Amino acid sequence: MYSQKVMDHFMNPRNVGEIPDADGIGEVGNAKCGDIMKMYLKIENNIIVDAKFKTFGCGAAVATSSMATEMVKGKTIEEALAITNKAVAEALDGLPPIKMHCSNLAEEAIKAAIEDYMRKNGKSGNGNGSCGVCCRKCEDVHSQYEE
């Protein structure tokens, strides 16, 4: 069900870990729904020089976290903010439709980390630094036991 690229980023995730002196940290998602993404950014002169993540979630959540950190590295803040969930999914050669919400999470995590950075640096008044669960909710019951 996953592309080879997703499996590669899942099995060999890039940039796992924390940045102790991160300039921006964003945490989105909700353990209740089964995924949390935490992104750490190091920003110098408006450029993202390093990115790391920790993720609790399914294969797609890990792979999109990994890809999102790869994509933001070397980008300006404005460029990073322009990264869409679709772009993350496309960079992974696509995600199964039911997993597209994981790519939302990656986009949100980038935005949340940048917002955190802006807030700490007095550059932005809007938002509270984390989108949290505003963009999605746990709906409908279904599990993945093969029955």
Partner 1 sequence: MSERVVYLDHAATTYVKPEVLEEMLPYFSEKFGNPSSIYSLGRETKKAVEEARDRVAAALGAESREIFFTGSGTEADNWAIKGAAYANRKKGNHIITTAIEHHAVLHTCQYLESEGFEVTYLPVDENGLVSPQQVADAIRPDTVLVSIMFANNEIGTIQPIAEIGKITREKGVIFHTDAVQAVGNVHINVKNMNIDMLSLSAHKFYGPKGVGALYIRKGIKVTNFLHGGAQERGRRASTENIAGIVGLGKAIELATANIDAYNKKLIELRDRTIDEVMKRIPYVRLNGDRYKRLPGNVNFSFEFIEGESLLLMLDMKGIAASSGSACTSGSLDPSHVLLAIGLPHEIAHGSLRITFGEENTQEDVDYLLEVLPDIVGRLREMSPLYEKVKRGEKNV
As annotated, the active-site residues are 33, 102
Binding mask 73-112 for partner 1 (x = CB under 8 A): ------------------------xx--x-----------
Q: Which helix (H) or strand (E) holds 101?
A: helix 100-120
- Angle at the Cα of 2 (from 63 to 6), degrees rounded to 5? 25
Does residue 135 bind partner 1 (CB under 8 A)? no
37/43 with CB nearer partner 1:
37
- Name the CA radius of gyration of the chain, rounded: 15
- Candidates 56, 6, 63; CA nearest to 27 is 56
The DSSP string of 13-63 is -TTBS--TT-SEEEEEEEGGGTEEEEEEEEEETTEEEEEEEEEES-HHHHH
Enumerate residues 12-31 that contact partner 1 by CB under 8 A: 13, 16, 18, 27, 31
- Angle at the Cα of 67 (from 119 to 26), degrees rounded to 5? 20
For partner 1, the binding residue among 55, 69, 103, 104 (CB under 8 A) is 55
Q: Do residues 93 and 13 touch, judged by C-beta distance below 8 A?
A: no
37/71 with CB nearer partner 1:
37
Q: Considering only 42-50, 75-83, 86-94, 131-139, which stretch makes contact with partner 1 by CB under 8 A?
A: 131-139
Q: Considering only 32-40, 80-88, 112-120, 123-131, which stretch makes contact with partner 1 by CB under 8 A?
A: 32-40
Q: Could you list the residues that contact partner 1 (CB under 8 A)?
A: 1-2, 7, 10-11, 13, 16, 18, 27, 31-38, 54-59, 61-62, 97-98, 101, 136-147
